[in-house]
């Protein structure tokens, strides 16, 4: 058969096999055959929409003129057809099979309805059809080589979830290549930990963390190295913000957590729990103000609880202390809370607060100082407070068989100042010499010449011609006694001869340590 007849037969067979019209300058060949000398090797649909159907074959399209062709390609049996492209091509909707694209620097456009496995060579560009492309059929994208920086016409979008290849896998950004901004939808949740047990949730009210937010640890001297500060924006007059702060890991008095209530326009409250918020409360224009409403006015309330006045006509917004309660009738505050008639007060009761910071700070509990003081170099800082008992002991230089009885003594130490009082009944017996009372709880300041006069009341000591004076000398823990004659200015130490058989001495003193 002549070559002309062979071509006609081949075209006829192909038309029957592929159901398409083939142009005169088209050569069809199977994958792996050699093509040479062809001006334009391609398969082209006559109207750019005819469907080419293949079954269990591999087909190769090669366009040497670089013209972008449009084909609709389907496979009767999914996965049995492999199409290899070398130039710019557009694959229309409906292709189902394996697509290998090896055209470096060329463009492949794939229909949005296609279901394909793609193999993309380095340097290639893939363009998906449609203004907003849905590639939900891509269940995994794996890059084994660096493709380079993609050039997008506009903002790229993606409509599928992106997972790392393993748990604790790839990072999002790096220490040298950070993302600039991140945008999340309403109600978005960010999950942390392998079990997703820590969440950060956004809603119209702001951000909610389901577990603790930790800041820097305080230093032993009270400093805050690398501290994290929490700022709260300005609130409206009746808004309330609460901070639940974890107490120190160890300490003399702190356990659990401490709640702190911040009310815009009102004093700060530490500790306590909200009992209730009442509306329609009458607040009297008096000092102190009295609250009335109905039998619920004192429900759950106790003396020394806090009352937050949130709002009300003529009400003075602030925090107050409960001073007295008439059951089911009224609550009296510590000061005036209204400047006129107020019958629409909005108030919140706080049970058992530990501290209220107001223009005049109110401590509803105690201020605890450590058993061992932590001295401060700041002269305006109170660093110690202590109360205790001690025992006065009367003594003579030669005690003999002298004895003491009825000994009492109490002191209060505030910073470097000691305030004390005490009593001792001293029986001198056979003792002789100077008389002193020892047992002061703290040694006096040792600065030379810094002696402190004390107030003494004595019974069976001294005489009508002499006064009895007491003195705490610098650095000492005793009270020395001196006899001051009324007619001379020279005092002498009190001797055993100035004492009766049993002398009772009462001492009150204030001195520096």
203 sits in which H/E element: strand 198-203
Q: What is the dihedral of CA 12, 16, 18, 24, to 10 degrees?
A: 20
pLDDT mean over 86-97: 55
pLDDT confidence of residue 206: 79
| Beta bridge partner(s), residue 347 | 278, 309
pLDDT given for residue 512 in this prediction: 96
In a domain, 246, yes or no: no
Scanning the structure block, which residue is given the tokens 């055993």? 496
The confidence band for 42, taking pLDDT boundaries of 50, 70 and 90, is very low
pLDDT top residue among 344 and 134: 344
pLDDT of 284-341, one tens digit each? 999 999 999 999 999 889 888 888 888 899 999 888 889 999 999 999 998 899 999 9
255 pLDDT above the threshold of 90: no
The mean per-residue pLDDT over the stretch 276-284 comes to 93
pLDDT at 421 over 90: yes
d(CA 324, CA 303): 6
Query: 116 and 189: one domain?
Result: no
The 10s digit of each residue's pLDDT in 189-241 is 999 888 888 899 888 877 888 877 665 555 444 444 544 445 555 455 555 55
124 touches 102 (CB < 8 A): yes
Q: Indicate the pLDDT class of residue 98, thresholds 50, 70 and 90.
A: low
Alpha helices in 341-393, H assignment, sequence order: none
For the cut 60, the answer to whether the pLDDT of residue 465 exceeds it is yes
Strand-strand pairing, 51-54 and 69-75? parallel
pLDDT of res. 483: 94
Q: Report the alpha-carbon distance of residue 75 to residue 18 in Å, rounded.
A: 12
What is the distance between the terminal CA atoms of the chain, rounded to a whole angstrom?
130
The answer to whether residues 58 and 30 touch, using CB atoms and an 8 Å cutoff, is yes
Diameter over CA atoms, the chain: 163
Verify that 112 and 22 share a domain, yes or no. yes
For residue 497, which phi and psi values (nearest 5 degrees)? Answer: -70, -15
- Answer whether residue 222 is part of any domain: no
Confidence (pLDDT) at 385: 92
pLDDT digits over 369-419, tens only? 777 888 888 888 888 999 999 999 999 999 999 999 999 999 999 999 999
Question: Do the beta carbons of residue 336 and residue 284 sit within 8 Å?
Answer: no
**How far, in Å, CA of 160 to CA of 164, rounded?**
13
Cα–Cα distance measured from residue 4 to residue 11, given in angstroms and rounded to the nearest whole number: 11
Cβ–Cβ < 8 Å for 199, 193: no
Q: How confident is the model at residue 160 (pLDDT cuts 50, 70, 90)?
A: low
User: 349 with 394, same domain?
Assistant: no
The single-letter DSSP state of residue 498 is G
pLDDT at res. 375: 84
In whole angstroms, give the CA distance from residue 80 to residue 54: 9
112, 194: one domain: no
pLDDT confidence band for 155 (50 / 70 / 90): low
Residue 131 half-sphere exposure toward CB, CA atoms < 13 A: 0
Residues 327 and 416 occupy one common structural domain: no
Q: What is the DSSP letter of 17?
A: H
For the chain, the domain total comes to 4
Q: What is the mean pLDDT of the chain?
A: 71
**Residue 143 maps to a domain:** no
What pLDDT was estimated at residue 138?
40
Average pLDDT of the segment spanning 33-41: 37
Question: Residue-wise over 192-220: b if at least 16 C-beta within 10 A, else e?
Answer: eeeeeeeeeeeeeeeeeeeeeeeeeeeee
Do both 279 and 346 map to the same domain?
A: yes
Please report whether residue 295 resides in a domain: yes
- Residue 10 inside a domain? The answer is yes
Judge whether 434 lies within some domain.
yes
Q: Are residues 8 and 117 in the same domain?
A: yes
| Residue 260 located in a structural domain | no
Please give the distance of CA 304 from its chain centroid, rounded to a whole number.
30
Average pLDDT of the residues in 127-142:
39
Are 342 and 403 within one domain?
Answer: no
Which residue, 89, 109, 128, sits at the end of a domain? 128
In terms of pLDDT, which residue wins out, 356 or 202?
A: 202
Residue 100 has pLDDT above 80, yes or no: no
pLDDT value, residue 432: 97
115 and 43 inside one domain: yes
CATH number at residue 290: 2.40.30
Q: What is the pLDDT of residue 111?
A: 57
Same domain (yes/no): 91, 20: yes
What mean pLDDT do residues 240-252 have? 49
Q: Which of 19, 69, 6 is nearest to 40 (CA)?
A: 69
Please say which residue of 97, 128, 159 terminates a domain.
Answer: 128
Q: Is 178 within the bounds of a domain? A: no
Structural domain boundaries, residue 195: 184-213
């Amino acid at each position: 058969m002549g070559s002309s007849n062979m071509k006609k037969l081949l075209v006829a067979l192909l038309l029957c096999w592929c159901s398409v019209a083939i142009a005169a300058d088209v050569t069809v060949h199977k994958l792996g055959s050699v093509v040479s000398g062809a001006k334009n090797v391609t398969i082209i649909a006559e109207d750019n929409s005819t469907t080419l159907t293949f079954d269990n074959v591999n087909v190769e399209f090669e366009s040497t003129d670089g013209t972008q062709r449009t084909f609709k390609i389907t496979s009767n049996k999914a996965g049995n057809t492999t199409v290899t492209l070398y130039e710019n091509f557009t694959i229309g909707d409906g292709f189902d099979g394996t697509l290998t694209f090896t055209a470096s620097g060329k463009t492949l456009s794939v229909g949005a309805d296609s279901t394909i496995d793609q193999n993309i060579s380095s340097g290639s560009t893939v363009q998906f059809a449609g203004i907003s492309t849905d590639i939900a059929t891509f269940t995994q994208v794996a890059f084994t080589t660096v493709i380079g920086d993609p050039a997008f016409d506009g903002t790229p979008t993606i409509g599928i979830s992106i997972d790392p290849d393993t748990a604790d896998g790839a990072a999002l950004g790096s220490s040298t290549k950070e993302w600039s901004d991140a945008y999340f939808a309403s109600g978005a949740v960010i999950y942390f930990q392998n079990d997703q047990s820590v969440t950060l949730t956004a809603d119209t009210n702001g951000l909610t963390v389901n577990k603790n937010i930790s800041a820097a640890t305080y230093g032993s001297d009270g400093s805050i190295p690398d501290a994290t500060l929490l700022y709260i924006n300005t609130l409206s007059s009746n808004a309330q913000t609460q901070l639940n702060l974890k107490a120190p890991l160890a300490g003399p008095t702190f356990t659990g957590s401490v709640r702190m209530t911040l009310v815009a326009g009102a004093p700060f409250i530490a500790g306590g729990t909200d009992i209730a918020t009442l509306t329609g409360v009458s607040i009297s224009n008096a000092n102190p103000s009295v609250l009335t409403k109905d039998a619920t006015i004192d429900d759950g309330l106790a003396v020394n609880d806090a009352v937050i006045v949130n709002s009300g006509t003529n009400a003075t917004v602030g925090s107050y202390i409960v001073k007295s309660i008439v059951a089911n009738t009224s609550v009296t505050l510590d000061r005036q809370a209204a400047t006129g008639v107020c019958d629409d007060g909005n108030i919140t009761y706080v049970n058992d607060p530990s501290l209220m910071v107001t223009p005049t700070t109110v401590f509803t509990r105690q201020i605890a100082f450590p058993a061992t003081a932590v001295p401060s170099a700041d002269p305006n800082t109170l660093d110690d407070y202590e109360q205790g008992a001690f025992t006065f002991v009367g003594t003579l230089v030669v005690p003999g068989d002298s004895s003491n009885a009825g000994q009492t003594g109490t002191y209060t130490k505030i910073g470097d100042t000691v305030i004390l009082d005490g009593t001792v009944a001293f029986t001198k017996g056979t003792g002789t010499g100077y008389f002193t009372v020892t047992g002061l709880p703290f040694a006096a300041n040792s600065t030379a010449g810094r002696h402190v006069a004390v107030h003494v009341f004595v019974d069976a000591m001294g005489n009508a011609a002499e006064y009895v004076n007491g003195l705490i000398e610098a650095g000492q823990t005793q009270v020395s006694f001196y006899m001051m004659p009324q007619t001379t200015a020279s005092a002498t130490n009190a001797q055993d001869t100035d004492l009766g058989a049993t002398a009772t001495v009462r001492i009150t003193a204030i001195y520096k340590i």
